[in-house]
Amino acid sequence: MTAQIIDGIALSQKLRTQVSLGVAKLAQQGIKPGLAVVLVGDNPASQVYVRNKVKACDEAGFHSILEKYDATLSEADLLQRVDALNSDSSIHGILVQLPLPAHIDAQKVIEAISPAKDVDGFHIASAGALMTGMQGFWPCTPYGCMKMLESIGYELKGKHAVVIGRSNIVGKPMALMLLQQNATVTICHSATGNLKDITLQADVIVAAVGKRNVLTADMVKPGAVVLDVGMNRNDEGKLCGDVDFEGVKEIAGYISPVPGGVGPMTIAMLLVNTLKSAQR
């Protein structure tokens, strides 16, 4: 059996087209969705991420600003900038690119963002809203994974979903979203002793670890849906996920590749969240 590929590039393009239509509708009311991206320091990966996010905003017809600061920016100054963006009526979403330099308390900065503009969905109010099933912004990466499942018409009710990884930005919100759709959810992490026993029971597996080959073909039930969130480099320096794609695609029913899977979906969901914020 060879798995069907869940094409994150095609799906994200579809979503981005829908976002552009939403932007055109808002323009009739004189509103343009605005996203502010704040980058502190010169982490090369962060620079690529923010460039891609700003480019996606421009393509969707958003107003976007990129604020770049030296790594020596003080926490107080960053908090002041966030505060100014909170009060800027042309800005509907604020994204502070992580990681921040060590002298800045990232959680404090995230909590300083107005929950109404927390399009990354990392604020404690957004996390609480997701946990309690209230309206709020969902973190973009797991939200993108949910859209991928929706795109293949996958019915989660009664299925066993296994999430590998329990970070606040991917693993935990992913598990809550799957639970909200009535899946039975198991969360695995670095202290899980019998990972293979658990994944072999899974109808859906989301790998969000950050280590190559965390999931191999012998760990997957035939026909399972496998979503690969991981972003790693292989021995040749090429981008790869957490899943042994070549092996697992022979067993799974559906699989998302890296690159071209969850990554583009994350950016698309950022646009979706920012549009939603402007619509509100």
Q: Which residue has the tokens 């709020």?
A: 136
For residue 114, give the 3-state DSSP assignment. Answer: coil
Residue 162's nearest CA partner among 122, 221, 248, 246 is 221
Let me know if 42 is exposed, middle or buried by CB neighbors in 10 A (0-12, 13-18, 19+).
exposed
Binding ligand NAP by CB under 6 A: which of 243, 262, 270, 271? 262
Is residue 208 a contact residue for ligand NAP (CB under 6 A)? yes
Q: Which of 210, 213, 217, 221 binds ligand NAP (CB under 6 A)?
A: 210
Out of 126, 141, 186, 277, the residue judged to bind ligand NAP by CB under 6 A = 141
Nearest to 38 by CA among 130, 116, 101, 125: 101
Q: Which stretch binds ligand NAP (CB under 6 A): 16-24, 65-73, 122-130, 208-216?
A: 208-216
Tell me the CA end-to-end span of the chain in Å, nearest whole number: 46
If the CB atoms of residues 20 and 232 are measured against ligand NAP, the closer one turns out to be 232
Is 270 a residue that touches ligand NAP (CB under 6 A)? no
Chosen residue from 94, 188, 243, 268 binding ligand NAP by CB under 6 A: 188
Identify whether 120 is a catalytic site residue. yes
Of the listed pieces 81-89, 123-131, 164-172, 243-251, which binds ligand NAP according to CB under 6 A?
164-172
CB of residue 62 vs ligand NAP: minimum separation in angstroms? 19
Q: Which of 118, 120, 203, 242 is catalytic?
A: 120
Is residue 97 annotated as part of the catalytic site, yes or no?
yes
- Under the binding rule (CB under 6 A), the answer on residue 97 touching ligand NAP is no
Least separation in angstroms between CB 31 and ligand NAP? 28
CA distances from 41 to 20, 82, 107, 185, 248 (A): 31, 16, 17, 38, 38
Nearer to ligand NAP, 103 or 189 (CB): 189
Q: Give the separation between CA 48 and CA 262, rounded to whole angstroms.
A: 16
d(CA 154, CA 149): 5
- Residue 278 half-sphere exposure toward CB, CA atoms < 13 A: 30
Q: Sign of the CA dihedral 207, 211, 212, 214?
A: negative
Contact between 60 and ligand NAP (CB under 6 A)? no
Residue 53 annotated among the catalytic residues of the structure: yes
Residue 101, classed as helix, strand or coil, is coil
- Residues annotated as part of the active site: 53, 97, 120
* Contact residues for ligand NAP, defined by CB under 6 A: 141, 164-167, 169-171, 188-192, 195, 208-211, 214, 229-232, 262-263, 266
